[in-house]
Chains A and B, each alone.
Chain A
Amino acid sequence: MHEGVSVHRYESSVLDALKKSGKSSLSELVSASGIGRDEVMWALENLKEKGMVSISYEESGRISLSKEGKEYAKDGLPEELLVKNLVKGSLKAADLDGSQRIGLQWGKKLGLIDIDGGMLRLTAEGRRAATAGIAMGDLLRSISKNPDDIRTAMHDGSLLTELSRRGLVEVRKQSVISSVELTGEGRKHVDKEDTDLIEEVDRAVISSGSWKTHGLKKYDVMVDVERQVPAMKHPLKRLIDKLKDAYVGMGYTEISGPAVESSFWVFDSLFVPQDHPARDAQDTFYVSNLKNENFGKLAYVNTVKKAHKKGWHFEWREDIAGQMLLRTHTTSVSSRYLYKIIDALKKNPEDYTLPIKLFSVGRVFRNETVDYRHLADFYQHDGMVIGRNLTLSNLFDELTKLYGSLGVKIKFKPSYFPFVEPGVEFMAYYEGRDEWIELGGAGMIREEITGVSRKKISVLAWGPGLDRTMLIKDRSISNISELYNNGVGWLRSRRVV
């Protein structure tokens, strides 16, 4: 044992209790230590390991009486009763009842009674027993009084065996601590400890200031404890919060829109031709029990119709545009607001201070074959700036700053989406794989969509997914579908990054 070994609070209590006597029984220890029996046992195990105490064990146990045993303990053994009867007068063997016959059997066996010519008679031993009682009866009565005192009972082992054999008692033995003794090491430790060190800092200690004179006991800081599990925000929601705050920090106003949406706002208003593969049922979820959206007198429908005719050389069909589906991108939200704002700007150009910056975050859907790796719904965000003389270089600046505030470095390359021109794809450096991965699309919204020349109004827009950014930010997540599994073990093993 080296110096400075630390002991747990319970161990310390036990050592304290042992300090004066140096040796103690378990029950004395429990009462002297002021902690529970289980805690004392736990502390003793540890102290034994540390070589501070030695423990002696002894056979122990409990004796319980059977129903018959209890009766005999109260009334006396049958042979005792018979002997007492015989003092009053002799009895005929033939006249004995059941209980008396048992008494006779044991009386003969113990040499207390003889039979002579059909008559019962006490022996000299029997006469003595009539006044002094018999040992077996005494033992039974003593057990009845102190069932735990197995040591006394065991003193005459053969008598106890006899009682057990007669079915009057049952003996259960176990090994128990008989005494605990402080070892040399334990003594050294105890002597070093100030006996008056305060363990528990309670109200009295604080108000009296007693710790100033007594000092405070040290703990074993290396003791293993069970880690506490904090309740936490979901990692994806945390990223969404961070993203939204980044947008707001750059002056964007949050918008939202329906997830169950018409083809019109998801595709047609965004200049996606009506025969575009993205609209195929193979890729997009359509719903079966909703009415088609009716555009009524929405003047914007004519802008859309004209744009499609010009760009795609097809007659645009309102019934196709009215079909309800689960949106495939949140750009439908931007589209709804873009229409509203352009419409308002046309009527009252003074009502708005340009540029207007808007963003939305929401769930989007793909008709994927879902398995443990593939999801059919996930998050996307959309940003949009409506203003005058906005440029591609402005777009690059907004995105670089937005992702910069998330700690993600991005770069740009040309790409194509029907609703933007120029089209942009932006990519992030993914350290985990040492490569640039695609985050999403961006660009300048086509004039066909606004119905207004870019000389008057220009619109920057982007719509990347969130999942890949999540992977870049939290390297402990290997697969995006993990995020939607929500097993309690997984939730509890998250770190806030």
Chain B
Amino acid sequence: MAAQQEGCIAMPVISINRKYLYGLIGKGMDDRKFSEYISKLGFAVEAVGEEDIAVEITANRLDLLDAVGLARTIKNFMHKSRRFHYEIEDEEPALEITVDKSVAAVRPFISAVAAFGVEMSDDLVLNLINFSEKFCETYGRNRRKIAMGFHDLDRIKGPLIYRSAGDIEFAPLGHRSKMKFSKVLETEEKGKQYGGAIRDEVRQFYPALSDSEGPIAFIPILNSERTRITPSTRNVFVDITGVSEYAVNKVTELLAAIFIDLGARTRRVKINYDGKTVLSPVMAKRYMTIPIKRAELEIGVGIGYNNIISLANKMGYEAGMVGNDIRFCIPEYRLDVIDEQDVIEDIAIGYGYEYINPLPIQYSQPGRLETKTEFNRRASDIMIGLGFSECTNSYLTNAQNNFAKAGIEGANAILLKNSNTESITMLRTWLLPSLLGNLGQSGHESMPQGIFEVDLAFEERMGRPVESNRLAFVSVNPKANFNDSKAAVEGLLYALGIDYTVSGSGHKAFIEGRCAKITVGGADVGFFGELHPEVLKNFGIEEAGIALELVLDSLYPKNQT
């Protein structure tokens, strides 16, 4: 659940012209107010620049990746707007698209909407292009799942056909002269950018949306220069293609809502699939009926009927009482509302998390640590008592550190398939190399130096992962010898109450004849002794050293269920 921490899975950040955005919201909007509302909704203003404002949106709210959607949501939240329904005004389809079955194997679905009387401007053109980029990169999974294109409807000489066109020619955005699709992939920025997985499919099929004069789009790469939208465009055509019929239809509804909010008159597009015809967008009404008690119970506050309807409106839902329940109408642009739980969250957001008072859970059971945690703590306490300082090392390593430097053959490591870091190729199979690495960088500190670690190591056995809890120590000082290691090991095992035997053994990390193993209940659980000078040297340690590696799992008391 820390998925969004440390910027690893970045939430989408959109950059929008402030003046344009605040203009859409209406009078009186400023940076301070905007930031306040946006954070109440669960988002954040990342940066405020001279021209633009950067807003971080959670990955579910795709309807907020453009200025129009964002303005709509803020206006609702401020109770400044009461538009809850988005409907296609004109039933007569504006255009027809025939889907050839040649796209079935690569990108089978297309959806579209036409908008008339759009008051286009530089700001709006930029907003639509930025939205399209951000949307297709995030929800569209870098255009694999969804791609969209905006066209000047008046330049299209319909009807349209969507098919695998082969490596044909067209004049792509930014060019007057024609070039082949294959050349677009090689030389155009978008062609190069959306390579990868898409590229192979694209190279094989070259999907294209064409009118009677040729391609208006090389899908999902680039539109034609001929149908480019400009500030003087009045009528807009949007195509959405993808691999999920559900997704292309829902995204088209989201786009229709944007144009409806802009005051345009929208018309459907007729899509002729092989064997079925779809009028896009569908814009079917969705309703959910939720008992008010349920909402109150899940949030943990008393809200009341009147209030809950006002909160619903604030969050963009039309709501009304049906018997003892509340019926919510789900806005067409909300792709993320799966069921009642999602609506209840919106009620909670509308209510304000800051006003939800913490309420204690009635509970009276005692808590408990795992047996191994308690054992590990005892072991750590004893090691500290013996004068060793505790370490915490990464589980990730490479064969050089884990095996070669320690003088042993590599075996049974769990290997990583796709590390972004060259020095990280596997999980550690034991702890000693980590500790030797720690001391190798500490030669300038006074002697003796004793460190230990209690943590996990990992091995591959028969194709399955095996984790082991281990304790290891290393101590270096000019007078260290085998007897010191034995003294420390016996001190540890005695204090832990372990019934053990020690016998001579051999391990390549240790000097021959100065290494012993520990046997508990008939099983070998660890080894210790005086480290081999070659190993010390490999890790950059300049004084004599002793060490222990002990597997703890079989030592844990067996009294927990």
Contact = CB atoms under 8 A, between A and B. Distances in A.
Given A357-B367, A441-B3, A411 B345 contact: no
Interface stretch (A40-48, A201-209, A456-464): A456-464
Given A260-B427, A286-B416, A455 B294 contact: yes
Contacts of A448: 338
B353 A414 contact: yes
B299 A486 contact: no
Chain A, interface residues (CB within 8 Å), range: 35 or more
Contact of B61 (A393, A416, A468): A416
Contacts of A248: 367-369
A254 B369 contact: yes
Contacts of A486: 391-393, 438, 451
B282 to A, nearest CB: 14
B311 to A, nearest CB: 13
A198 to B, nearest CB: 32
Interface in A248-267: 248-256, 258-260
A371 to B, nearest CB: 8
Interface residues of B, number: 99
Contacts of B8: 283, 366, 368
B244 A394 contact: no
Contacts of A320: none
B442 A487 contact: yes
Contacts of B424: 370, 376
Interface stretch (A74-82, A102-110, A227-235, A339-347): A227-235
Given A370-B421, A397-B361, A422-B348, A461 B438 contact: no
Given A233-B390, A363-B395, A465-B6, A415 B58 contact: yes
B536 interface: no
A288 B417 contact: yes
Given A353-B365, A441-B3, A412 B393 contact: no
A417 B11 CA distance: 11
Contacts of B416: 285-288, 326
B389 interface: yes
Interface stretch (B99-107, B172-180, B458-466): B458-466
A277 interface: yes
Interface stretch (B120-128, B150-158, B253-261, B380-388): B380-388
B463 A289 contact: yes
Contacts of A392: 298-300, 348, 353, 356
Nearest to A248: B367
B344 A287 contact: no
Given A286-B416, A441-B3, A487-B442, A251 B389 contact: no
Given A393-B359, A417-B3, 6 more contacts: A233-B390, A234-B390, A368-B421, A413-B40, A416-B42, A486-B392
10 contacts: A251-B366, A290-B460, A310-B338, A363-B395, A414-B42, A447-B341, A454-B294, A487-B442, A488-B449, A489-B444
Interchain residue pairs A-B with the least CB separation, the first 3: A391-B300, A463-B1, A414-B42
Interface of B: 1-6, 8-9, 39-42, 58-61, 138, 141, 144-145, 244, 246-247, 294, 297-301, 336, 338-339, 341-342, 344-345, 348-349, 353-354, 356-361, 363-370, 372-373, 377, 380, 383-396, 414-421, 423-424, 427, 438-439, 441-442, 444-445, 449-451, 456, 458, 460, 463-465, 467
